[in-house]
């Protein structure tokens, strides 16, 4: 999108498929350097911490404009990551902070996904969905809950499973990547609690396929735990549920609470009992919640357009 909005006519996404993040931190800059030499783009967008330390400098030395994309508080996410021991999590968080500082210093433009992530001359470009990419489906008969996003304990996987256990008339679609060890435990729990007919784990899917599955669901779930990574963050998936016409159930974290109260498109609730009651309310008034979400989502393009104007202006002027 950044290249297209800047007047370009081609965008290519290059992924680094190494599953071990520690290895990616050491190999990603070399892969980036090789890719830039071959493709010679006008602009390169660097969305991952492993690219921030050397990526912008490599781009500058190659005569290419670099955009650092900070779309969450990675230091808090690393510190919260269940895959790390406490010491490892602390080291990972410190490394991410260092790489982010290096990236900001050498990038032409730094964009952030939320105002609380911004420093200095950063441009805030919230992760708002492109309205119209998902066609709403407002059938009355759906008894499906859906979650779209990375699956983890801090993102509420166990809370979601307990919720579907307490709502025997509902099913749950889990759409998004899940670490193998956690997937094994989740699958065992689902089997042990006889929920195999109610819960479907789809794993990682493309954007279009993910929202094809989500479309028509009764409720979109955003049951984040109040960890440092999420307590002041608005889950991107809430905006996406709104744009898809899916009523939202979220935990009562301040940003989610403010957004859902403003848009009147969902309910915040903590604890299984309160959440089961919320599910009943969302089902009864699904059309109203969905319509409110769609109406609020119609304003997304105005905010996004203003941010694009600022980003493109800075890139054309050579950055800050």
The conformation of residue 111, written as its DSSP 8-state character, comes to E
Whole-angstrom distance, CA of residue 134 vs CA of residue 146: 15
pLDDT in tens, 132-160: 555 566 655 579 999 999 999 999 999 99
Reply yes or no on whether the pLDDT at 127 is more than 90: no
Domains and CATH numbers, the chain: 2-128+300-316 (3.40.50.2000), 144-297 (3.40.50.2000)
Quote the pLDDT of residue 85. 47
Which strands, in side-by-side order, build the sheet including 144-148? 199-203, 171-175, 144-148, 219-222, 248-250, 266-268
What is the rounded (10 degree) CA torsion for 300, 49, 67, 206? -50
Q: Among 22-26, 54-58, 144-148, 249-253, which stretch is predicted with the lowest mean pLDDT? A: 22-26
Can you say how many angstroms the Cα of residue 153 is from the centroid of all Cα atoms in its chain?
15
Can you say how many angstroms the Cα of residue 151 is from the centroid of all Cα atoms in its chain?
11
Rounded to an integer, the average pLDDT of 282-295 is 92
Rounded to an integer, the average pLDDT of 218-244 is 89
Quote the pLDDT of residue 185. 97
pLDDT in tens, 62-121: 899 988 888 777 666 655 655 544 545 566 667 777 888 888 888 888 888 777 777 777
Q: Among 29-33, 170-174, 194-198, 212-216, which stretch is predicted with the lowest mean pLDDT? A: 29-33
Quote the pLDDT of residue 96. 74
Quickly state the pLDDT bin for 288 (edges 50, 70, 90).
very high
Paired with 66 in beta bridges are 44
Whole-angstrom distance, CA of residue 22 vs CA of residue 35: 20
């Amino acid at each position: 999108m950044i290249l297209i909005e800047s007047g370009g006519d081609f965008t290519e996404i290059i992924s680094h498929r190494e599953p071990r993040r520690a290895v990616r931190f050491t190999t990603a800059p070399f892969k980036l350097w090789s890719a830039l030499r071959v493709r010679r783009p006008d602009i390169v967008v660097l969305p991952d911490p492993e690219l921030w330390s050397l990526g912008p400098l490599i781009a500058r030395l190659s005569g290419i404009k670099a955009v650092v994309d900070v779309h969450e508080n990675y230091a808090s996410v690393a510190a919260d990551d269940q895959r790390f021991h406490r010491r490892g999590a602390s080291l990972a968080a410190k490394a991410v902070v260092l790489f982010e500082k290096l990236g900001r210093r050498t990038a032409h433009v730094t964009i952030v996904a939320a105002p609380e992530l911004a420093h200095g001359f950063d441009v805030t470009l919230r992760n708002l969905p492109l309205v119209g990419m998902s066609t709403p489906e407002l059938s009355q008969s759906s008894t499906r809950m859906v979650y779209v996003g990375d699956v983890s304990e801090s993102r509420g996987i166990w809370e979601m499973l307990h919720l579907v256990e307490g709502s025997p008339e509902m099913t749950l679609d889990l759409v998004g990547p899940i670490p193998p060890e956690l997937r094994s435990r989740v699958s065992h729990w689902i089997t042990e609690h006889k929920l195999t007919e109610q819960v479907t784990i789809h794993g990682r899917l493309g954007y279009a396929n993910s929202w094809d599955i989500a479309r028509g669901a009764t409720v979109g779930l955003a049951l984040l735990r109040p960890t440092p990574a999420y307590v002041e963050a608005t889950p991107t998936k809430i905006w996406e549920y709104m744009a898809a016409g899916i009523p939202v159930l979220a935990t009562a974290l301040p940003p989610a609470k403010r957004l859902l109260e403003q848009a009147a498109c969902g309910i915040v609730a903590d604890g299984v009992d309160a959440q089961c009651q919320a599910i009943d309310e969302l089902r009864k008034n699904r059309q109203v919640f969905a319509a409110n979400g769609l109406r609020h989502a119609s304003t997304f393009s105005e905010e996004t357009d203003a941010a694009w104007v600022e980003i493109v202006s800075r890139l054309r002027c050579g950055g800050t």
